[in-house]
């Protein structure tokens, strides 16, 4: 694979036009737009695929939805909060904002999610499932997971707490990226590409 562009976002970055989105989706869109700055898409392009990769998904929004469900019952819970708690909401926002109409997939795994996404992207390119892949790696912290993080053996990338950040890569066929056996820090790995 070869990198055409990359972009980064954190929880303090702002974006217009998606004010109802949660931080998880906003960061994914910001990082993806930055990765595509130097590339012009054809409107409604179906030859570009989207892969969103995450270790824990939009768990901050999921916890918020569950808190509201307990506090207000299922009749008064916001459907918007529920829709943002779904893991592939970020991929939908990326596709909508960038007008990409190719296939998309969201991967959530505790064990090396960026590596898994790179393997999938490489496979899709090799099998000519897409001409380009927009890969977004994203994770965020939350109070509940930060509380238990120090007491569990989660295979996470941070010893102290989770990181709230997004990084995106626009990829095409090439031989520039060698996928390592283990990626210990996904954001550092992407920065160094």
> Does CATH place domain 2-162+170-191 in 3.40.47.10?
yes
Which percentage of the chain shows pLDDT scores above 90? 51
Cβ(98)–Cβ(36) under 8 Å? yes
pTM value is 0.86
Cβ(164)–Cβ(11) under 8 Å? yes
Flag whether pLDDT at 74 surpasses 90.
Answer: no
Strand partners, 105: 51
Q: What is the pLDDT of residue 4?
A: 96
Q: Write the pLDDT tens digit of every residue in 104-144.
A: 999 988 888 999 999 999 999 999 999 999 999 998 877 77
Q: What is the pLDDT of residue 185?
A: 86
Cβ(27)–Cβ(140) under 8 Å? yes
The radius of gyration of the chain's CA atoms, rounded to the nearest angstrom, is 17
For 21-60, give the DSSP string. Answer: S-HHHHHHHHHHHHHTTT-PPPTTBSSEEEEEEESS-SHH
Flag whether pLDDT at 100 surpasses 60.
Answer: yes
Distance, in Å, from the CA atom of 80 to the CA atom of 72, rounded to the nearest integer, reads 15
Residue 181 main-chain phi, psi, to 5 deg: -65, -30
For 77-137, give the DSSP string. Answer: S-HHHHHHHSTTHHHHHHHHHHTB-S-EEEEE-SS-HHHHHHHHHHHHHHTTS-SEEEEEE
Which percentage of the chain shows pLDDT scores above 70? 79
What mean pLDDT is reported for the chain? Answer: 84
Diameter of the chain measured on Cα atoms:
53
Q: Which of 19-23, 76-80, 136-140, 185-189 has the lowest mean pLDDT?
A: 76-80
């Amino acid at each position: 694979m070869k990198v055409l562009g990359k972009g980064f976002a954190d929880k303090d970055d702002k974006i217009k036009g998606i004010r109802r989105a949660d931080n998880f989706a906003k960061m994914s869109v910001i990082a993806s737009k930055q990765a595509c700055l130097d590339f012009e898409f054809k409107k409604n392009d179906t030859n570009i695929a989207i892969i969103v990769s995450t270790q824990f998904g939009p768990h901050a929004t999921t916890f918020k939805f569950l808190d509201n469900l307990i506090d207000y019952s299922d009749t008064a819970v916001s459907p918007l909060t529920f829709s943002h708690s779904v893991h592939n909401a970020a991929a939908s926002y990326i596709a909508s904002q960038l007008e990409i109409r190719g296939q998309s997939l969201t991967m959530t795994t505790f064990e090396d999610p960026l590596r898994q996404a790179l393997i999938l992207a490489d496979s899709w390119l090799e099998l000519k499932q897409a001409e380009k892949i927009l890969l977004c790696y994203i994770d965020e912290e939350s109070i509940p997971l930060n509380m238990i993080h120090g007491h569990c053996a989660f295979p996470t990338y941070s010893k102290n707490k989770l990181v709230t950040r997004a990084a995106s890569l626009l990829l095409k066929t090439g031989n520039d990226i060698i996928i390592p056996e283990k990626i210990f820090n996904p954001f550092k790995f992407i920065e160094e590409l």
